[in-house]
Amino acid sequence: MAKDVLSVLDLKDSLELLIDNAIKMKTGEQGQKKTVKKLPLSDAEVVLLFEKPSLRTKASFAVAVHQLGGRAVYMGSEEVQIGKRESASDIGKVLSRYFDAIVYRAFSHKTMLELADAASVPVINALDDHEHPCQILGDLVTIKEKKGTLKGLKLAYIGDGNNVCNSLLLGCAIVGMNISVASPSSYRPKAEVVSEAEKLASNSGAKVEIGTNPFKAAENADVVYTDVWVSMGQEAEKEARQKVFMPYQVTEKVMGKAKPDAIFMHCMPAHRGLEVVADVIDGPKSVVIDQAENRLHAQKAVLLYVLA
């Protein structure tokens, strides 16, 4: 059976191990060319199948595969046209005959599941409309790197209850981090995800809070996190969303509610003057560039998890 990573839940029993492995690879204790005679993914072939454009996800996976000794082939939407030119099922079956793993960036989680169900090799979710598990692995790597621990910390997520928010809820609950989400009432994270996060939190000792007040969410937070208000595919809603979300802009006043040593995070791309002001994202509390770098080390940990 292929070991898919379609959700943070697929990493539930291994999440903290993957976080630690990513940190070790970053510091050179394993997985680096200078310390390993034969690279762990020598001769592995990985396809990057992307319906959506990407900077960090595409670059970090391509470099990760290379550093681990494998080869990555990129295929964009214009080449594949999933669901138009060919079905997701057929594509999953065919690519499984050529590659050892499929890294898939999709518009629809339903299509993600269809392709993974048909594929006979591991499928890694590089983003869909339901979750972004690899992003959250990199985020947790960054938080542990900066804070030394995860359990008992508080993360405040302010903004759209989107795929990143869904994965943060699950990831924080698994590792024992408290998470407080502040979103407009009509843009809250999915109820089924919140319910699952609450179940996980009851086992890890974490707290899950869902509300509408960004200042309350940020109180005593160790981490303040936001994301774009308008994701790819939502361009027609841009004006309406900006009006609704403007009270959720992360400002210095919002950061002032968090702990004095709190860090600011954003999965990027970022829009200064919208979801966050420049003084915050470009200020001393921002770790967004380190966060982006850690996607590389997180991707290596995920690739080793499914292939090595």
Q: Give pLDDT tens digits for 31-71.
A: 454 444 568 999 899 999 999 999 999 999 999 999 999 99
Of 129, 165, 227, 249, the active-site residue reads: 227
Predicted local confidence at residue 34, as pLDDT: 47
Predicted local confidence at residue 103, as pLDDT: 98
HSE (CB half, 13 Å, CA atoms) of 306? 28
Residue 172 annotated in active site: no
Mean of all residue pLDDT scores within the chain = 95
Is it the case that residue 178 has pLDDT exceeding 80?
Answer: yes
State pLDDT tens for residues 230-261: 886 777 888 899 999 999 999 999 999 999 99
The whole model's pTM is what? 0.95
Predicted local confidence at residue 235, as pLDDT: 79
Of 10, 128, 129, 135, the active-site residue reads: 135
Cβ 182 vs Cβ 157: under 8 Å: yes
Domains of the chain with bracketed CATH = 8-131+295-307 (3.40.50.1370), 135-291 (3.40.50.1370)
Of 56, 267, 291, 299, the active-site residue reads: 267
Residue 267 annotated in active site: yes
- Find the helix or strand (DSSP H, E) in which 33 lies: none
Mean pLDDT to the nearest integer, 285-306: 98
Residue 261 annotated in active site: no
Residue 105 annotated in active site: yes
Residue 295 annotated in active site: yes
Of 56, 266, 295, 297, the active-site residue reads: 295
- Residues 55 and 229: their CA atoms lie apart, in Å, by 18
Is it the case that residue 1 has pLDDT exceeding 70?
Answer: no
Is it the case that residue 281 has pLDDT exceeding 70?
Answer: yes
Predicted local confidence at residue 36, as pLDDT: 47
Cα–Cα distances in angstroms (integers) from residue 47 to residues 117, 128, 143, 179, 298, in the given order:
17, 17, 29, 34, 18
Residue 227 annotated in active site: yes
What is the longest distance spanned by two Cα atoms in the chain?
A: 56
Predicted local confidence at residue 30, as pLDDT: 53
The token pair at 8 is: 């943070």
